[in-house]
Structure 1
Amino acid sequence: MTVKAILDSKGHDVLTLGPNEKLSVAIRILAENRVGALVITNEDRKIVGILSERDIVRVIDREGAGALDRSVRTAMTPKVNICNENHTVNELMEIMTAGRFRHLPVEKDGMLYGIISIGDVVKRRIQDAEREAEEIKAYIATA
């Protein structure tokens, strides 16, 4: 199973924010949409960073509540691991596990194309396992 198949199923919508927006705005968007990360993009949808809940916790721990008035740029992770639509679910699991993160932006032609969360990966692996079990049961029943 590939990233393309996951995005074809779930869609390509991604919550984004500009790097100069305030952290307080980012927190509101995360809370309202019940998501754990925002992809930070410039005007032409090129990825310039990612902002996760963990990033926000770290900056508030360092700087206190005053950090909420600072720009997203000060808290985001600027070096973003990305994937493309040809990556497999197993490759995604390896990348996410090695990097210890839960969100992986998808890039196509240098632009943001979608996002894959650990929830998407787990859901797909469960579907694959259930399908395999059904195929094995059908095979045994016909043997």
Structure 2
Amino acid sequence: MHRKTEHPISHENPHTHSQSLESNMMPSGTSATAQMVLDDKGGEIYSVRPADSVHHASEVLKAHNIGAVLVRDQNGHMVGILTERDIVRGFAELPGETYSKQVEDLMTKDVITCAAGDHVFELLHVMVKGNFRHLPVMDGDHVLGVISIRDVVKFRLQELEYEALKLKQMIVG
């Protein structure tokens, strides 16, 4: 995935630098996984049915202070995701009718997911590139949880704070 890049200074005196530019630029959280983010935030999963009203779904979003809810069929299989953006799009396209519409009318059907072992850095890249903020974490067809870009950023900030503390302890002794 990452191409090895030498630091320009290292060509002048390769014995003075123990790390490459790539190793310094690579986020330290590359070993952190989606499962670790889920473990940190908790794996609570909120869902609605495709035939539920958008009004009901918005109440679920509000009650749990979340920005997306999974849409599951009667067998519990994920068939989509309904996000705040989907609802706003509905208001723009169907003024005055959005709340009475069914979830399946507004939900995103082709949901991008990740696996529990996917690395945090990859998750951030996928979410930023795809311009979305919620990612269901899957184990086959089973949903383990949903992580948001906020969850990933919070997790990385905690890691960075811990790394800074460890460095400070090394320096101070």
- TM-score between both structures, scaled by the size of structure 2: 0.78
**Aligned residues of 1:45 and 1:112 also touching (Cα < 8 A):** no
**Aligned residues of 1:6 and 1:120 also touching (Cα < 8 A):** yes
Residue 123 of structure 1 is aligned with which of 110, 134, 154?
A: 154
Larger Rg: 2
**Aligned residues of 2:49 and 2:72 also touching (Cα < 8 A):** yes
Amino acid at match of 2:121: N
Match of 1:84 in 2: 115
Amino acid at match of 1:115: V
Once the two structures are TM-superposed, the CA of residue 55 in structure 1 deviates from its matched residue by 0.4
Give distance in 2, aligned partners of 1:59 and 1:8: 33
**Aligned residues of 1:3 and 1:88 also touching (Cα < 8 A):** yes
Residue 113 of structure 1 is aligned with which of 140, 144, 147?
A: 144
- TM-score between both structures, scaled by the size of structure 1: 0.93
**Aligned residues of 2:40 and 2:155 also touching (Cα < 8 A):** no
Match of 1:58 in 2: 89
Unaligned runs of 5+ in 2: 1-31
User: What is the identity percentage for the equivalent residue pairs of Structure 1 and Structure 2?
Assistant: 36
Amino acid at match of 2:94: E
Q: How many correspondences in the alignment?
A: 142
Question: Using CA pairs below 8 Å that are at least 6 residues apart, which structure has the higher relative contact order?
Answer: 1
Unaligned runs of 5+ in 1: none
- Deviation by residue 1:78-123 (Cα, 9 ceiling, x = unmatched): 0101011101111111011011111111111212110101111111
Give distance in 2, aligned partners of 1:117 and 1:53: 13
